[in-house]
Amino acid sequence: MKDAHGRPVTGRVSWRKFAVLSVPALAGTAALGIALANGALAASFAVSGQQFKVSADSLKGDGFAQYGSVDTNAREDLLPVAVTAIKTAQLDHLCQSVVTHLPVVGDISLNLSAGTGRTPVEATDLFVDATQLSGNASFHQIEIGRDASTLDKGPDGARGMQDLFAQQADDVSISKLRQTAWATNAGTFKLSGLSMKISKGKKECF
């Protein structure tokens, strides 16, 4: 989408607002039953009982799609998510963190960082099942309000249920990316300068 001067639409995006529009259609028992019957679940595996946080100074991606769906955990609980799917993505200064609380020991933090040098993190066919996402975003040729079952700009299989709200764009650029997610899938994930640390206490990316 472009403005009157032909410039791409830019602005600060709160993905919580997107989730408010897309997820309620999945909240009813009937809709969730249809999703299960059709195999329309987001992650291809049972997610853990813990969400994790991801941040990046910037994300640049080609082939963007976003739609509402559900994840399931090992207890078969249904977890509404907003799926962000990108064909190819590059991320600078990636941070991932998860905090586990253990009896007696207390909080234990797992922190992962990559792409902090000249080489960014690279991913193909990236799917992120998020419950919160924020940042400063810019899109080219964005389509908002498209039927989720007809998406065709994202990775193969990046489609939701018929009649549900979705959006897609030729490309996306997000600075100051902050998101909380249940799961991430990728065809390939190249982590340059990978560093992983485990420490006591609560130490999160944001």
Q: Tens digit of pLDDT for each residue in 10-36?
A: 656 555 555 555 555 444 445 555 554
- Residue 189, pLDDT > 60, answer yes
What pLDDT is stored for residue 39 in this prediction? 44
Read off the pLDDT band of 184 (50, 70, 90). very high
Dihedral over alpha carbons 196, 197, 203, 206 (to 10 degrees)? -10
Rounded to an integer, what distance in angstroms lies between the CA atom of residue 187 and that of residue 91?
16
What pLDDT is stored for residue 17 in this prediction? 54
- Residue 110, pLDDT > 70, answer yes
What pLDDT is stored for residue 192 in this prediction? 96
Strands 188-190 and 195-200 turn out to be unpaired
Output the six-digit token pair for 49.
């009982």
- At 104, phi and psi to the nearest 5? 70, -50
What pLDDT is stored for residue 42 in this prediction? 77
Q: Tens digit of pLDDT for each residue in 55-78?
A: 999 999 999 999 999 999 999 999
Mean pLDDT to the nearest integer, 85-105: 96
Out of 36-40, 86-90, 93-97, 195-199, which region has the weakest mean confidence (pLDDT)?
36-40
Rounded to an integer, what distance in angstroms lies between the CA atom of residue 115 and that of residue 147?
35
Asked if 35 contacts 70 with a C-beta cutoff of 8 angstroms, the reply is yes
